[in-house]
Amino acid sequence: MDDKYKNIIQSYVNQPRLKNEVFKWCSILMNNGKYFYYVYELDDILTIVVENTVYYLNKINIYNKNNSLYIKYSNSIKNEDIKSVIFEFNKNTSYPFSPPANIKVNNISYLSLLNLDSTFLKLCKLETNCLCCESLTCRNNWSTSNNIGDILNEIIKNMNYKKLYVIYLHIKIIAKKHLFIYSENLIFDYLV
């Protein structure tokens, strides 16, 4: 990435750790196959677009609003269930010593997406009854070694559980209607 573009990013992101993470995202995207990128500013929103042969189109928007810094990561192909992830960093937030203030996946609060039935979590052989309690966004699980990339990986993993949960609900309905009681657990266990 050119120094000119790095300077533009630095004018939007004052926090050194976040600045380095944005640069890291860009370098990861640029190291996967042939690519081209461009950076532009419009209405106080900085947009970084990287197109390459592996991920197709990735876009990072950075903007300040109501005393908070927002970093929006959009990916058009790699994971079709996740169109965008928005990280909010309050001016008072002490990132990286605490997690981002708010995270939205496809404009829905990330924590609300983690509400899954504990029976389902046991069927998936997870050792927890609550994905929220295990999330990196929980202050008890956050450490300074965690970063935005770790949260993105967790979001992808948990969105896969969410897809499995939808399949489980469909199996439950079909089993209840056409098979014997509790057969949904046998079917789901076979699929997982």
- All structural domains of the chain with their residue ranges: 1-78, 109-192
pLDDT of 77 > 60? The answer is no
Tens of pLDDT, residue by residue over 78-102, are 556 677 888 888 876 688 888 888 8
Report which residue type is found at 117: D
140 backbone dihedrals φ, ψ, rounded to 5°: -70, -25
pLDDT of residue 146: 92
Tens of pLDDT, residue by residue over 38-76, are 787 888 888 888 776 555 567 788 888 887 888 888 875
Nearest to 17 by CA among 86, 99, 105: 99
Is residue 140 packed enough to be buried (19+ CB in 10 Å), middle (13-18) or exposed (0-12)?
exposed
- Average pLDDT, rounded, for the chain: 80
Report which residue type is found at 155: I
Instruction: Supply 123's token pair.
Output: 């069927």
Find the mean pLDDT for residues 30-35.
63
- Under DSSP, the state recorded for 35 is E
pLDDT of residue 142: 93
